[in-house]
Amino acid sequence: MLNMTTFLVVTVIILAVSFDFINGFHDTANSIATTVSTRVLSPKMALLLAACLNFIGALLNQKVAGTVAKDIVDKTMVKGNSGLIIVIGALVGAIIWNLITWYFGIPSSSSHALFGGMIGSSIAFTQTFSVVKWWGVMQKVIIPLFTSPIIGLFLGFLFMKLLYKILRPFTQQSVNKWFSKLQILSAGFMAYSHGNNDAQKSMGIITLALVTANMNNGQEHVQPWVVLLCAIAMALGTSVGGWKIIKTMGVNMIRLQPIQGFAAETCAATVIETMTHFGAPVSTTHIISTAIMGVGAAKRVSAVRWSIAKNILWAWFITIPFTAVLGGLVAALLKLL
């Protein structure tokens, strides 16, 4: 019969894998929305490409996982089962938010959702704000999460302007022909970078649970089986496809041409890979969304449906406080029980 600690660890692993799976289909649009909307690839081929490269990306880097496991919550204050209950609260809050935003087709941030849930559940359970490593949150989470979309916007705008200038002598037909091929490469780069950053958040959560329960051999590094499990969950979730969000990003916000899809994906993936190199858990959703806005505005400002962009931005601002409340409520309820 399982003791309480083992039961809680198993619960965390199940929830973390579920979060990774949901993250996969919720954020599928990050990788393939532009490719599907420009009809460079069929939806099935785009999903297959994204799932394979998400899987590969998730296997090859664990810097972000280390940030999640070490730099968010003070583990000395949440030892044993208390820490595991806090992680459960965070995961439940993030999963609920991801399902809500997926249902309404809103491309929100799974990263914001997870960190908001972690902050809220740890404060609610311990009843102190000092449990959160606020400098770590600010340095490794808040600053990258808010600056990286701005970088994606301006990089997308400038890169698109440069492409327009370089390709001015060529016909639209010729440009579409070449960039239909190049966009397959950029979509693969985007899918790889998504797996390389996003899957690590669940790896970090599972590692945090194992360390809290003293089940990680006294170490803080990510175990190989955790890496493989999260990579598989992310890839399977991606293979399902989040069509509502794909429609929002690839069709409703702006009508994309292959050259614009290539520019948005290339710029977004470059920003994500840079942040991953420094172990910063950024929002791939935010970055690709703002990169799409940037390449659209480079053609003309009115090419972007800013009313839809405004709704997306509102969702970004309320994600952390909303999931903090959700995570806090779940953790407080579990504490009472």
pLDDT surpasses 90 at 249: no
pLDDT, tens only, 265-274: 899 999 888 8
What number is the average pLDDT over the span 227-254? Answer: 72
What number is the average pLDDT over the span 137-156? Answer: 83
pLDDT, tens only, 188-227: 898 888 887 777 778 888 888 888 888 877 677 788 898 8
What is residue 1's predicted lDDT score, i.e. its pLDDT? 46
How many Cβ atoms are within 10 Å of 113's Cβ, its own excluded? 33
The percentage of the chain sitting over the pLDDT mark of 90, rounded to a whole number, equals 20
Q: Using CA atoms, how far apart are residues 11 and 162, in angstroms rounded to an integer?
A: 50
b/e sequence 237-268, b meaning 16+ C-beta within 10 Å: bbbebbbbbbbbbbeebbebbbbbbbbbbbbb
Contacts of 237 (CB under 8 A, 6+ apart): 20, 21, 22, 23, 24, 25, 26, 28
- Mean pLDDT taken over the chain: 82
User: 39-48, 63-72, 176-185, 313-322 — which one is most confidently predicted on average?
Assistant: 176-185
What number is the average pLDDT over the span 223-238? Answer: 86
- Give residue limits of the domains in the chain: 4-336
pLDDT surpasses 70 at 318: yes
pLDDT, tens only, 307-316: 777 777 777 7
pLDDT, tens only, 159-185: 999 999 999 998 888 888 899 889 889
Phi, psi for residue 335 in degrees, rounded to 5? -65, -40
Radius of gyration of the chain from Cα atoms?
A: 20
DSSP 80-122: THHHHHHHHHHHHHHHHHHHHHHHTT----HHHHHHHHHHHHH
